[in-house]
Structure 1
């Protein structure tokens, strides 16, 4: 049997790390739900009544205190309070003209709160080429990286980070120079449980400062593990697509994020029997006239699925990769969308072995018939070691997508569900390791 401890990994581990950061906060709606009805009135109605009962001087003093405490921590805080008041007024059929501007803004403040979206964890990144490549040298690539951020209540959201990567994995992340801002739903009403939802980032917020939060009941407890891919349609047009898991707190389903510019986003449920499972990753183009996805339909093996529709997946698929080596005996799964190269499709995988230790591997699929596996790594290319074993979930390395930069592949990866590291490898080194 092959001694994997003696096999040298082709990956170069790069120095930078991103970790959970409780100082990154956004303003979020605050909802009063516990003991909702009090004396035949909702707690929200009682709160609004108390604010309206204040005389104008007292209201101004309270709003001034809020302003001193929070205005330097958030952009456009007044506008956010005004918009939140508008939502409350609509829900309560409250006439805005009957409320003074000061009390409108104060009511908005009472129905907002700060949320530290990455206080608990930052993990499971995916990465695509940035829509704007202007001013970039020929051997460099600007990128957008998505990250799963976990905050209070273990609610998962999607955060972003921009950067530039060049040869040999040399990269730089753009600084987060401003305050974080939550993306805004275009219409919070009149949405059915299976309707697509549109959200947009605030015009003054950079991609790196924007966060996508759950907006529907099906997403209530989180948007998990977005797997981004730059998809090329039959007509040559390009669109960014990302499969992710929507978690309501008691059920999961797969959904699809769609965007062309990372300014507006469509969040759309996937239909069909196969969409009930986690960890689906799209191929970056049709193959053989079909959309293809790699997923894990049975909880153990990697499955290849096909569909003639992007948003409907009825095909239960066929097994593509099954656990063969000890480090993947418990289960296997994909680590993002396959990457096309001259030799075929490189698919990064994860395997789970003894003591629930996660490791990364890779496989090569036939370019014209991806159901044919041409090779796979017998040993992990990356496993948690030393201090990287410690974290929210120990002994885990995981990625939701890598990016080809010439003959190099740049791989951001999650570290024990607590931080994000970076690695790179040449395509040739990866292929040479496969059996």
Structure 2
């Protein structure tokens, strides 16, 4: 029996006009020349040029002058080298210098794909049968640099989606450096990396810090470390590794006057400088408290790191790396509640099969059990999850992906036992969704992919990417799907 899938007439396409103002640094020598050139301009020339810039860009960015000031302050070390007091420069000249070290970056220029969907924390003002939802997307721009962006809107009782107006004044979040680290856990994370071979041990280097410490306190500790422990190349690399790990934990916050669609979670730490990939958001409930988590892959150009992002309101976010023996691969997806008192996570630790892991600590994952391996021809290369499991009366519904001949990515479905999700109840023996003739064309042909779905009324709402270029969504009757999954094969 083929499950009926209803494709919906909506497409989320890349939009070249969605740009953010990024810091542009040209190297110390060239940058010094630029600064001196601006300092040599007359006051009138400075004001004229700054006014030209503001006319062209003030309607494209919220508080562009604040962005210029922020980028100006990032030049503090260079001003010190040039023996110039950075605070002595007048406001107009500061802004103009900041403008020379700013560039626009089109975050969606290349692709807008791999969506997930969650119920919004704001459900006010709806009529019966409606649900306000938040979709996250992987937005990719020049150089294939990926970030997380959002859209919001309302699903009506029939599963039709009406998107909220999309704002144009995009904003990156402010990074908050008041993050508090717990020494015991931080040392465990360092020992897990096991890349240092000589020199002082982590516990010795961090001995001057308390049981809890801030990023600033850690910076001071590492700055003073060479005086206490030496400064050989190996030791410098070790100190850098400590700060690398610290930078992978951070907090960000968006201004209250930004709309959800204007918030861009752009790579911040060195662990993700080449992109933030495939966020799988889930609405997590524990003891009547709701929290949103997202698992994503941080990419630094060489290696990947699974990370966890958490928020209650989509204004303030905390980011942590995931650790443990199985936190090594892409595609980790958290269950929406604890099972038998433990967090549960789907993962693909070997790149081919689906596994399940349980942990008392949401950041540490050490053991896993296989729950699905390729069985059918359309998934012989690999299977993986397409987002967090969905709880139904009949079991945990997992949307999966399978890869077959010609590297075609298709979507499937799996049903796991509610209290013992290591147990498979059933799976589809044919794809739930494959790219049609229109969808198969794109940046990566013949691919449909999703990072998360929800249940609304009697339907599965399944957003999916189209050949790694754009996105859309479909609906599937839930009872029909579950009946097929429970059917004896």
TM bucket (normalised to shorter chain) is over 0.9
Select the residue among 324, 336, 345 that pairs with 1:284: 336
**Structure 2 unaligned regions, length at least 5:** 179-214, 220-242
Deviations 1:50-96 (A, max 9, x none): 22222212211221221122122222111221222223236644644
Select the residue among 210, 217, 222 that pairs with 2:275: 222
1:236 match: 288
1:202 match: 255
Tell whether 2:148 aligns with 1:97: no
Select the residue among 436, 448, 466 that pairs with 1:397: 448
User: TM-score, normalised on structure 2?
Assistant: 0.83
Select the residue among 118, 139, 146 that pairs with 2:129: 139
Tell which structure's C-alpha radius of gyration is larger: 2
Tell whether 2:59 aligns with 1:72: yes
- 1:36-435 correspondence to structure 2 within 5 Å: 36=27, 41-89=28-76, 92-93=79-80, 95-187=85-177, 190=216, 192-195=243-246, 196-233=249-286, 235-315=287-367, 317-434=368-485, 435=487
Distance 1:402 1:29 in 2: 35
- Asked if structure 1 preserves the Cα contact closer than 8 Å seen for 2:116 and 2:136, the reply is yes
Judged with a 3 Å threshold, the aligned counterparts in structure 2 of structure 1 residues 80 and 369 are, in CA distance, closer, same or farther, namely same
Distance 1:42 1:338 in 2: 53
Judged with a 3 Å threshold, the aligned counterparts in structure 2 of structure 1 residues 272 and 91 are, in CA distance, closer, same or farther, namely farther
2:22 match: 28
Distance 1:356 1:132 in 2: 40
Give the alignment's Cα RMSD to 1 decimal.
Answer: 1.6
- Asked if structure 1 preserves the Cα contact closer than 8 Å seen for 2:18 and 2:168, the reply is no
- Asked if structure 1 preserves the Cα contact closer than 8 Å seen for 2:20 and 2:170, the reply is yes
Deviation at 1:20, TM superposition (A): 1.2
Deviation at 1:301, TM superposition (A): 0.5
Q: Which moved more, 1:343-352 or 1:268-277?
A: 268-277
Distance 2:318 2:102 in 1: 25
- Asked if structure 2 preserves the Cα contact closer than 8 Å seen for 1:389 and 1:396, the reply is yes
Deviations 1:140-175 (A, max 9, x none): 110111000000111000010001112232111111
Specify which structure has the higher proportion of helix.
2
Distance 1:265 1:168 in 2: 32
Deviation at 1:402, TM superposition (A): 0.2
Alignment length, in residue pairs? 420
- Asked if structure 1 preserves the Cα contact closer than 8 Å seen for 2:60 and 2:168, the reply is no
Specify which structure has the higher proportion of strand.
1
Distance 1:30 1:409 in 2: 44
User: TM-score, normalised on structure 1?
Assistant: 0.93
- Asked if structure 1 preserves the Cα contact closer than 8 Å seen for 2:167 and 2:259, the reply is no
